[in-house]
Structure 1
Amino acid sequence: MTTYNLNIEYYETRATEMINKLLETLTRQEVKASAPLSALTSFKIGGPADVLIEPATVEGAADAISTLKDAGYPYMVIGNGSNLLFSDKGYRGAILRIADNLTKVEINETRVVAEAGILLSKLASQLMDRSLAGFEFASGIPGTLGGAVYMNAGAYDGEMKDVVEWADVLMPNGKIETLDNATLGFSYRHSRIMEAGGVVLRVGLKLNRGMYEDIKAKTDDLTEKRTSKQPLEKASAGSTFKRPEGHFAGKLIEDAGLRGLSYGKAQVSPKHCGFIVNNGGATAAEVLHLINVVRKTVRDIYGVTLEPEVRIIPEVPEQV
């Protein structure tokens, strides 16, 4: 991550001004200053964000983004923070977190409407209780529904594109558009929402009626596979690298002799080489160093370029 000579007083003043503007429509419980990002990400890494916004309603989220845009203040929207690596120095802007507060779910036969902040694991549990099949693959993905749709998250031969019927997306022009599956343009770990700079607010799912016992058995089987093969006991951002065409990232890393490679408190997981884990107190700089070593080694040996699946967020946003 790039090092900047920052005028801290300037950023503190801007943050204070922005918080005061946000408090015109949001409450003190929804807006905070200097929030540690290590507490908001599954990697447990990251310095403070100048402003943290946790809106209580979908409308509040839309209003907050409108206020941020009107002020020209840099911001980033996150969910459960399960696929992110923030700078050790934090983020000089606002983090808008769509998570714990935005979790309403409505179920009508085999169609489901859910707010973007609900955890995939909790949604999967609710759907299983209603004997709705097709969402089992997502039960162990550590993220929110909105984040999963944004990047077309998937596991064990299932992806969000298989179950999403539509999504309400807040577009950069401030309008909320309902986009159907085709318009969302899903592909591997990608959707058109990324290109458009949109924010997922609500999602419509189409599932299938199933037998509770079968759904539970499949969910339990996938849980056992994850537990036995993935380093869930360690802090991480999930799979560190995307799957290169014709290969598996973890296999390439293992065959390159990098299993267990450490730098500081960051380590290529001995349990699954596709994960870089935080052994307690790792820094973003250590993780980035390890990512670069892994990428260079695999490229030199196999001629394959591994692309990070984890999103690497700089201290100073590009908008500044």
Structure 2
Amino acid sequence: MAGSIAFSLTQRYDNTTHEPLDAGRLYTYAAGTTTPQSAYQDISLTIPWPNPITLDSGGNIPQLFFADGYIKIRLANADGVTQIAADYVLVLGPTTGGGAAPSVDATTIYQTGDLKPRYGTGAHTGWVRANGRTIGSATSGATESAASGNQSLFEHLWGADANLTVSTGRGASANADWVANKTIALPDFRGRVIAGLDDMGNSAAGRLSATYFGAVATTLGNAGGIEGALLAANQIPSLTSVNATQAISVTSTSVDIARSGSSQPSTGGPAAAIGSSGNVTSTGNNSISVAYTNAGQVGSKAVQPTMLATIYLKL
């Protein structure tokens, strides 16, 4: 099979004069060597070009064909001064028309179900937003995307996450539900960050527990965490106030105390009232207690520094 190179059918200019490369010369070699390798005028590789190829007055390079692989090139002006030199130039093809398309390494491209953040909003060809809406066939009535091109992602999600809702319930298989024009809900990443499953094929790391995450952290698609919360009484740190028992002494001013009754002198004189005066002192202990009252009851923030984009799923 044959192919061409990017130089084919282009116009070149002198690097110094910037005029068209009139009578420029294009040399072609086997890649990585100084061995000449001819270019051809036809895809059957039966009519070779001279080597070097002389450019016309407009500096135009004619259509070139090579065997598939790589070549080495050198382009010089009419005086032999090199303008461009490159090795291992890829021959793009095949161009014979009857051959198979070139193979693509599936590990180097996005695959169905892959996630990516994109700095933009709205529809994105070949992708759907992970927004909790639905996808399905062209007649499914899906809310995010209803098109025949959704089948691969529909079946992938159906098998990957049993908790994603399928309209009217799950049937015998993903393909059966697709043929029945059902819809399936997309994962909902609105306002959420992505975290790795706590196990991912290993033993659970314990970094996300149900106690604090709020869900089982080893189940695909589970969501947890909160933006903020009010602290309950049992979440407030213990506070200790030391208050010793204090002795209190109170002394009054002078007071007269009248006592009932009278005294009768033995001599038979008039009776006299009995009375006394002096200070009154009282002592005792006083116990002091302290109460702490939260005046505001404002929620505690729990949001990490965050910048927003759109999360897409590959169809």
TM-score tier, shorter chain, comes to under 0.3
* CA radius of gyration, larger in: 2
TM-score scaled to structure 1, two decimals?
Answer: 0.20
> Which structure is higher in helix share?
1
